[in-house]
Structure 1
Amino acid sequence: MAAPGLQLCAAAALLPLFLLCLPLRARADEHEHTYHDKEEVVLWMNTVGPYHNRQETYKYFSLPFCVGSKKSISHYHETLGEALQGVELEFSGLDIKFKEDVMQTTYCEIDLDKGRRDAFVYAIKNHYWYQMYIDDLPIWGIVGEADENGEDYYLWTYKKLEIGYNGNRIVDVNLTSEGKVKLVPNTKIQMSYSVKWKKSDVKFEDRFDKYLDPSFFQHRIHWFSIFNSFMMVIFLVGLVSMILMRTLRKDYARYSKEEEMDDMDRDLGDEYGWKQVHGDVFRPSSHPLIFSSLIGSGCQIFAVSLIVIVVAMIEDLYTERGSMLSTAIFVYAATSPVNGYFGGSLYARQGGRRWIKQMFIGAFLIPAMVCGTAFFINFIAIYYHASRAIPFGTMVAVCCICFFVILPLNLVGTILGRNLSGQPNFPCRVNAVPRPIPEKKWFMEPAVIVCLGGILPFGSIFIEMYFIFTSFWAYKIYYVYGFMMLVLVILCIVTVCVTIVCTYFLLNAEDYRW
């Protein structure tokens, strides 16, 4: 009767995840990127902000720009990833149709009073730029410019769009800003646009190539960092193998020799090292609930990282707005049983009895830290009216995913882990009385070893983290996920080697708190 119960529980947990995907699929028509002649093409206005601080962004219409005459569109979509990244698109009101040229046309008029002029002057002084989208292709433009003396300020009023198409798909978009008009209070400024369609030989699969920066991501320094990390792996694996094989062989030889002695000679001998703690090494940790939750969360994060990188290498997720974050959220929710399985089984093997509490902590440990930090920063963004502010409805949606998708799937994994691998299977008996830990040097304390042990793994990935964060802060599109996969493999190998060495040092110092 237990197996049907587990199947029913798993089906009930997967149902919310399936329902979560339905609205995303229903709103995915715009992602087909195919158009018929004279079909509607939407120009989305996204953000505006200072060029020298690209993370400071506000809504495009926070500046007193005017909207075109067209009021409605036939489709609109926003994924969860877009909402979490602050990609809030607003319709420009410009009437654009596929393969239909538009001559220079005035679409609105700005009544430039003193307040509006001051807003534009502030934007021009701070070199404000804006971002738009057509068919997911980003377009950037400058708000205006000042004269050499910094006394007069001019606004670009004419958006000249040149759109390239290949068959029934858009493959290229270029914007030229013209129509420089001096900002004079109490005047009217006419905003205009034009659209020129041209046939292009660029393939649809290659339309994002012009936004990539191979000279930055495939620089010699990047290749050298990969090679350097790879050499570190070879050195560590060789060092660990040599030290452990020689040391353990010597220890085994000494201990096997001692087995031939009688009890009196063995008692008078100088036994020391890792053999002395064999009866305590599998003792439950001092905080088994937190320890097992951390292990389960770590296994889930590794699974999510591996799957997302593989999907990004295959599908080129950088070509769709918010698709990387949406994929990461979906994969994290889907891999919640991994967290429950490894965390629940480890907690059961350590004799833990409050497994429901452990399940809740394991399920919400990472989401609570990430969402807590993000929501705190979000309130600051809301206060400053930044475009990256996450809407309240999106925050509610994230909380619903945690409670109705992640928690049930984590429950399934916890039940499976406790039933399938929750029984203690230690190779030796655990002593009833804990063995006293002898005094040792300060650098052999577990807290110090934890800090020192993290230096080499960090050293193997910090160059790649530089490229990742630079692409984030500098608005470069990160696309070299093959490098990221190599770095992930290197990180795993380095972490394993460092863990083996640190564990051996602790056990050899007769400290079983590994």
Structure 2
Amino acid sequence: MIITVRSITFYLFTFLFFFSPSLASEHDHKYEPDEHVILWVNKVGPYYNPQETYNYFILPFCHPDGHIEHRWGGLGEVLGGNELIDSQLDIKFKKNVDKTVVCELKLDASKATQFKDAIENSYWFEFFIDDLPLWGFVGEYRFDKNGENPKHMLYTNKNLIIKYNGNQIIHVNMTQDGAKPVEDGRVYELTYTVTWIPTDISFAKRFEVYLDYPFFEHQIHWFSIFNSFMMVIFLTGLVSMILMRTLRNDYAKYAREDDDLESLERDVSEECGWKLVHGDVFRPPRSLSLLSAFVGTGAQLAALIFLVIILAIVGMLYTGRGAIITTFIVCYALTSFIAGYVGGGMYSRNGGKNWIKSTVLTASLFPFLCFGIGFLLNIVAIFYGSLAAIPFGTMVVVFIIWAFISFPLALLGTVVGRNWNGAPNNPCRVKTIPRPIPEKKWYLTPTIISLMGGLLPFGSIFIEMYFVFTSFWNYKVYYVYGFMLLVFMILIIVTICVTIVGTYFLLNAENYHWQWTSFFSAASTAIYVYLYAIYYYRVKTKMTGLFQTSFYFGYTMMFCLGLGILCGAVGHLGSNLFVRRIYRNIKCD
């Protein structure tokens, strides 16, 4: 595909001005009587495979005459696998249309086979009128009175029901009838009707009909929030009561007067646990540049998720095609400064010298991991000829956003972080010779602590994961972002508390390699989410085929990578504050 300057300019224009309401649609949603209303046909595909979608005219429906008008709605819409085409049906505002023939469709053997395969695989399609979606099935199976001899029935008539208030369209619906057997050589008249009905529903509430209130506001959803909230209280109380009490007793030993020499010598001879590793606990971790990149990226993702949730609550982004995706990309680029600042400051505080390497890793680690997964999925989508395949022009636009916005901001953040937050300020001096780590029981090893650390954070988001997965994989519009914000904050608090407890146990085992352990302890939450995704795929969905399976586990892997990096960074930063706090109050020399 040849990319022209004009096409790139168009994509950038769409990207930069996406949030302008006047450019989010082709008009201001106001119509004059008898003004033409466009019915856009979008995509078609197997109902149980949400990502396996194709151009509507991959099936031998009636094609528009002459020039086919496409509508490109922006970066997020393209990445979401949408391709709107003008159906050229004669629909005018407030003007009813009796049954009208669109075209005569004659099926040959090839076309009949296409429709039969589509009906067998429960193919559905999506239309849009005034940015409001319509859905329907291509056809259905019908059996005789004895439940035998199934026939492939093709719907030939579409009844469009449009409700309006004043000069605005409020609600659209579609029913289908005229089902006829799919037979080779048969001629069908494809028809449609349009009925306009006035309503008193306001334009601001027109999208509420697509929201499944009973599902998302079910009692179990409220109960899950309460359960997670109680977990937060329990964990914060546990950290405050047990750890602080233990540490207070340890501090008391160091606060005694030096004249009690005999008592002091006895305490020193009995000293054990976390106090013995004060000369090694601030030793720079292995692969410092990689850990700094992970922590910086995780801090960026935490800020990104918080910002996107707030924008979704305020701006109701779920009402627009691709709005969430576009918002995510824009906010990711703009929050890259945070990644550079946190990662660069951490790298410099620990004595890192090659800050260019750290910057490149921080700016490119997560995007390139996602790009690698997305590249493989794109090959599958291209092989199948699906709309899920990302056009080359869109890839160029995304790369331009990364190269000219995200990377420079990460570089700026690294420079600022090195100068403002990069000075070493360890409470204890690092000894020249590393202290040997003694053998401990199996449950105090870094591996076990890391694996156990993700259980409680996963438990705090378990119910919400069900609602998120269901909305993404089962055609439900997720709109309860207030719930998501609460669960996200609970996840952050639970992750910090659990990681602090795990770090304390590790240091008490005289193991000073807490940096990577604290990261993996929190990041292991993503492992349990991925295991839950496998269970959800097998039990809660009816997905089939290489295409949908690869997209399901590929998208889930992207999500879990982001979640793992986010939680790992939060856990590490929380443990870092905890470690500095406890070693600041002891006599290290």
- If the length of structure 1 is used for normalisation, what is the TM-score? 0.91
| SS of equivalent residue, structure 1 residue 34 | coil
* Cα distance between partner residues in 1 of 2:187 and 2:268: 101
Q: 1:18 to 1:418 in 2, by over 3 A?
A: farther
* Cα distance between partner residues in 2 of 1:380 and 1:94: 34
Question: Residue 217 of structure 1: CA displacement?
Answer: 0.9
Which residue of structure 1 lines up, in the alignment, with residue 103 of structure 2? 108
Q: 1:153 to 1:168 in 2, by over 3 A?
A: same
Structure 2 residues without counterparts, runs of 5 or longer = 1-10, 515-589
Post-superposition CA distance 1:376-421 (Å, at most 9, x none):
1121121112232222221222222222221111111111111111
Which residue of structure 2 lines up, in the alignment, with residue 421 of structure 1? 421
* Cα distance between partner residues in 1 of 2:135 and 2:267: 80
Say whether 1:92 aligns with 2:69. Answer: no
| Paired-residue identity, % | 53
Say whether 1:366 aligns with 2:366. Answer: yes
Question: Residue 260 of structure 1: CA displacement?
Answer: 4.5
Matched residues, number: 498
Letter in 1 for 2:229: F
Q: 1:295 to 1:377 in 2, by over 3 A?
A: same
Which residue of structure 2 lines up, in the alignment, with residue 4 of structure 1? none
Q: Is the 8 A contact 2:253 2:267 kept in 1?
A: no
Q: 1:198 to 1:124 in 2, by over 3 A?
A: same
| SS of equivalent residue, structure 1 residue 48 | strand
Q: Is the 8 A contact 1:470 1:476 kept in 2?
A: yes
- Please tell me the root mean square deviation across aligned C-alpha atoms, in Å: 2.3
Which residue of structure 2 lines up, in the alignment, with residue 123 of structure 1? 118
* Cα distance between partner residues in 1 of 2:163 and 2:170: 6
* Cα distance between partner residues in 1 of 2:490 and 2:85: 43
Letter in 2 for 1:272: C
Moved more, 300-309 or 256-265: 256-265
Which residue of structure 1 lines up, in the alignment, with residue 37 of structure 2? 41
Superposition map of 1:159-174 within 5 A: 159-174=158-173
Question: Residue 78 of structure 1: CA displacement?
Answer: 2.0
Which residue of structure 1 lines up, in the alignment, with residue 455 of structure 2? 455
Which residue of structure 2 lines up, in the alignment, with residue 156 of structure 1? 155
| SS of equivalent residue, structure 2 residue 301 | helix
Q: Is the 8 A contact 1:340 1:359 kept in 2?
A: yes
Question: Residue 464 of structure 1: CA displacement?
Answer: 0.4
Q: Is the 8 A contact 1:70 1:94 kept in 2?
A: no
Q: 1:276 to 1:18 in 2, by over 3 A?
A: farther
Post-superposition CA distance 1:286-310 (Å, at most 9, x none):
1110111011001000001100111
Q: Is the 8 A contact 1:273 1:507 kept in 2?
A: yes
Question: Residue 44 of structure 1: CA displacement?
Answer: 1.5
Question: Residue 180 of structure 1: CA displacement?
Answer: 2.4
Question: Residue 483 of structure 1: CA displacement?
Answer: 0.7
Q: 1:146 to 1:268 in 2, by over 3 A?
A: closer
Which residue of structure 2 lines up, in the alignment, with residue 12 of structure 1? none
Which residue of structure 2 lines up, in the alignment, with residue 244 of structure 1? 243
Q: 1:217 to 1:28 in 2, by over 3 A?
A: closer
Which residue of structure 2 lines up, in the alignment, with residue 139 of structure 1? 134
Q: Is the 8 A contact 2:37 2:91 kept in 1?
A: yes
Letter in 2 for 1:237: T
Post-superposition CA distance 1:24-51 (Å, at most 9, x none):
7584342632333333322121222233
* Cα distance between partner residues in 2 of 1:352 and 1:417: 13
Which residue of structure 1 lines up, in the alignment, with residue 47 of structure 2? 51
- If the length of structure 2 is used for normalisation, what is the TM-score? 0.80
* Cα distance between partner residues in 1 of 2:321 and 2:274: 54
| SS of equivalent residue, structure 1 residue 97 | coil
Q: Is the 8 A contact 1:68 1:108 kept in 2?
A: no
Which residue of structure 1 lines up, in the alignment, with residue 547 of structure 2? none
Which residue of structure 2 lines up, in the alignment, with residue 333 of structure 1? 333
Q: Is the 8 A contact 2:68 2:85 kept in 1?
A: no
Counterpart among 77, 85, 90 of residue 72 in structure 2: 77
Which residue of structure 1 lines up, in the alignment, with residue 484 of structure 2? 484
Q: Is the 8 A contact 1:45 1:133 kept in 2?
A: yes
Question: Residue 229 of structure 1: CA displacement?
Answer: 0.8
Question: Residue 313 of structure 1: CA displacement?
Answer: 0.9
* Cα distance between partner residues in 2 of 1:215 and 1:304: 29
Which residue of structure 1 lines up, in the alignment, with residue 535 of structure 2? none
Which residue of structure 1 lines up, in the alignment, with residue 63 of structure 2? 67
Letter in 1 for 2:225: I
Which residue of structure 2 lines up, in the alignment, with residue 403 of structure 1? 403
| SS of equivalent residue, structure 1 residue 30 | coil
| SS of equivalent residue, structure 1 residue 177 | strand
* Cα distance between partner residues in 1 of 2:176 and 2:366: 45
